Amino acid sequence: MNRPTTRHRPALKNKPKPPPIKSHFPNGVVTKHKDSSDMKKSLYSSAKNFCSCLGNAHFLKWRAGDICGVVVHHPVPCVFAASLLFFMAVEYTLRMVPPTAPPFDLGFIVTKNLHRLLESRPTLNTILAGLNTVFVGMQTTYILWTWLMEGRPRATISALFMFTCRGILGYVTQLPLPEGFLGSGADFQVGNVSFFLFYSGHVAASIIASLDMKRMKRWKLSYTFDILNVLQVIRLLSTRGHYTIDLAVGIGAGILFDSLAGKYEDSKKRAASFVASATTYGSFYNSEKERNG
């Protein structure tokens, strides 16, 4: 009998390899999966590195004396930490103001008696508005004087930065006019025109001028501006010309943009110094070249 013969397939030479699988891994190609032992080693190594970092943590080196020393030597950050916890409790337990109700403003509550007084005496309101406009003129005059007459543009640059940012924010979020607003034709802007509420340019410009006075050691003039600024804040709250947050942010804006203007000036001075050094070196190089040539 003839036995059936088995046919053997010839081995394929140069068998094509399947294309690699693209993935999001850093090398872009996955060619081989790690087995479970490699995965365990990787996890163990990661856990070991984490424990090593945790063992070197700074707070583990603290002692009781160090913790007490923080309170003694750094009371201000400790007060901020306590206020953080307090206001977290206030925020998470506070009833939100409904959409139909006017905004809650603590400054309006504190100045309600002054508001009633100015509301009942329009002439007094107009006089105070006129005095406030004079104060705004004083701010503007001083800020421009430092640039045009003294050649110190920092205060002017700061005011330009500040009013540009105020215009952007004031237009992006247009707050409603406070209830009980007492306008006056003598107030700035003169003529009862529309204005941005957030944030107060009156207060910010006064801060910018006062900071410049302090840099120049014009202490009496600076303290005078600070007192007038406080009175201005009280009047703006009493007439409902600004919310409290507008005035508070105005103070911060004055400080912030004065600092930014100072950094801008410093950057320009460094650039000018670099250009001058490069020019001097170029002139020296050319003269040496001509001499040796």
Q: Which residues pair with 29 in a beta bridge?
A: 22
Looking at the chain, list the stretches that DSSP marks H as alpha helix, in order from N- to C-terminal side.
36-55, 64-73, 75-93, 106-110, 112-120, 122-148, 154-172, 201-215, 219-238, 244-292
Whole-angstrom distance, CA of residue 223 vs CA of residue 213: 9
**Crossing angle of helices 201-215 and 122-148, rounded to 10°:** 40
Contact 222, 213 (CB under 8 A): yes
Query: Would you call 242 a catalytic residue per the annotation?
Result: yes
Q: Are the CB atoms for 188 and 136 separated by under 8 Å?
A: yes
Half-sphere exposure of 99 (CA within 13 A, CB side): 0
Options 105, 202, 212, 258, the catalytic residue: 202
Q: Which residues contact 123 (CB under 8 A, 6 or more apart)?
A: none
Q: Does 246 qualify as catalytic in the annotation?
A: yes
Question: Cα–Cα distance between 279 and 271 in angstroms, integer?
Answer: 12
Q: Of 105, 212, 246, 258, which is the active-site residue? A: 246
CB–CB of 257/161 below 8 Å? yes
Q: How many CA atoms lie within 13 A of 144 on its CB side?
A: 6
**Catalytic annotation, residues:** 202, 242, 246
